[in-house]
Structure 1
Amino acid sequence: MPDGLPGGHPAVKEKTPVSAGREHLFLREEELRAAQDLLFFGYRDFTAGADAMLAEIGLGRAHHRVLHFVGRRPGLTVGELLAILDITKQSLGRVLTPLVEGGYVEQATGRADRRQRLLSLTEAGRALERRLFERQRETVIRAYREAGPAAVDGFRRVMQGLMAPATRGLVERVATGMAEPPGAGGMRGGGPGLPGGAARPPVGAAGRAPGATAAPAGALPGEHPGTRR
């Protein structure tokens, strides 16, 4: 006679304590430390190729982050970039200045708010960012193919789980370019749109916000022309 529960319902054996224990083996300390190892070594090798390319021209990983996000959203404001990178204005200045002086990033003054600095990649910047992307693209494609669709979906879920709720929303806004709902507040700087300022203005075909004027040569990131000393 088949096993059953009172009332004639079949027993649900997968809900026994033994099965539940097996389901949570990955929460043991050693498994969690192994996960830390995987994150470290995976990120190290993922960035290695791009790091080597950048080192050849005197740049590094921090510069790559700026190239990536400005390339993703031409016309990004300095305030928005500060919120994405979660660094101080001084730290961003040290990273952004060599990119501007090297001809990879250009700044423009906002049309609606002349205090804003709108960032976009130059032709040289777009070419460099593309080369870096292609190098890392090969690594991601290889990993995705080896792991399979189910693992890729699981990877995305785990990465989202590692993020704070506010960061998940920021990732979504970076990917889609959608403004933050009015009244939702922000991270660094707050206000409608991406944290740090108003919603990003539309971008023209050349990758620069229409109507924006070029920033003065040598202007510091986020600096209003009238405040230079």
Structure 2
Amino acid sequence: MAENGRVGGPGGESLLFLTDAQLRKGIEAMFFAYRGFTADPDRILAEHGYGRAHHRAIHFIHREPGSTVNNLLTILGVTKQSLNRVLRTMMADGLVEARVGRRDRRERHLYLTEAGAALERELAEVQGRRMRAAYRAAGPEAVAGFRAVLEQMMDPELRRLFRRIEEDIE
């Protein structure tokens, strides 16, 4: 093994173990990538007076139309008070509607309105363009590796939740 923690592999080098400096570079790359990933949506959201919490709620309501408030709480990992504040704003602005559950009238099922769906599309489009360009530039092996790294960074419970949501939409 070389001094830098790298071993030669078929594509040049593969990292078997990382130095503290390499880990810090990865952490910094994540910070800068996240900044880029959220920059365009942040500008769009600011025009509406919204923040990232609104974006996450819109995204997952779109992914699971009819999701309950409790399910959204589980997915987002926020407090009920925080989510209610976000939902109240978006309902007042005509982006989200809550329908009473058919089986359990205490449940509220969340749906995007036409205006909410339009905002979700706009947000997804700008992030999709950035991700598509990055994926193309990095290539298929890098995309698969990136996905594997992201999944391994998730706590096991969140990884299971992620995979369940993913299965529901495939």
Q: Same fold (TM over 0.5)?
A: yes
How far apart, CA to CA, are the structure 2 residues paired with 1:133 and 1:46?
11
Q: Is 2:22 the counterpart of 1:38?
A: no
* 1:137 CA displacement: 0.7
Change (3 A) 1:108 1:73: same
Q: Is 2:104 the counterpart of 1:113?
A: yes
**Aligned counterpart in structure 1 of residue 144 of structure 2, from 141, 146, 153:** 153
Identity %: 51
TM-score under structure 2 normalisation? Answer: 0.90
What SS does the corresponding residue of 1:119 show, helix, strand or coil? strand
Structure 1 or 2, whichever has the larger Rg, is 1
How far apart, CA to CA, are the structure 2 residues paired with 1:52 and 1:126?
18
Q: Which amino acid aligns with 1:124?
A: A
TM-score under structure 1 normalisation? Answer: 0.67
Match of 2:59 in 1: 68
How far apart, CA to CA, are the structure 2 residues paired with 1:54 and 1:173?
28
* 1:52 CA displacement: 0.1
Q: Is the 8 A contact 2:5 2:18 kept in 1?
A: no
Q: Which amino acid aligns with 1:22?
A: R
How far apart, CA to CA, are the structure 2 residues paired with 1:170 and 1:99?
25
Match of 2:6 in 1: 22
Match of 2:85 in 1: 94
* 1:164 CA displacement: 1.0
Q: Is the 8 A contact 1:77 1:117 kept in 2?
A: yes
Match of 1:144 in 2: 135
Aligned length: 162
What SS does the corresponding residue of 1:111 show, helix, strand or coil? coil
Structure 1: which 4+ aligned runs deviate by more than 3 Å?
17-21, 23-26
The CA deviation string for residues 2-56 of structure 1, in whole angstroms up to 9 with x for no partner, is: xxxxxxxxxxxxxxx5599424575110111111101100011111001101101
RMSD: 1.8
Query: Which structure shows the bigger proportion of residues in strand conformation?
Result: 2
What SS does the corresponding residue of 2:103 show, helix, strand or coil? coil
The CA deviation string for residues 39-83 of structure 1, in whole angstroms up to 9 with x for no partner, is: 100011111001101101111111000000000010000000000
What SS does the corresponding residue of 1:177 show, helix, strand or coil? helix
Q: Which amino acid aligns with 2:47?
A: E
The CA deviation string for residues 109-156 of structure 1, in whole angstroms up to 9 with x for no partner, is: 101011111001001000110011111111001100100000000000
Q: Which runs of 5+ in 2 are unaligned?
A: 8-14
Query: Which structure shows the bigger proportion of residues in helix conformation?
Result: 2
How far apart, CA to CA, are the structure 2 residues paired with 1:30 and 1:109?
53
Match of 1:5 in 2: none
Change (3 A) 1:40 1:18: closer
How far apart, CA to CA, are the structure 2 residues paired with 1:85 and 1:128?
19
Deviates more, 1:169-178 or 1:101-110: 169-178
How far apart, CA to CA, are the structure 2 residues paired with 1:127 and 1:18?
52
Change (3 A) 1:28 1:124: same
What SS does the corresponding residue of 1:120 show, helix, strand or coil? strand
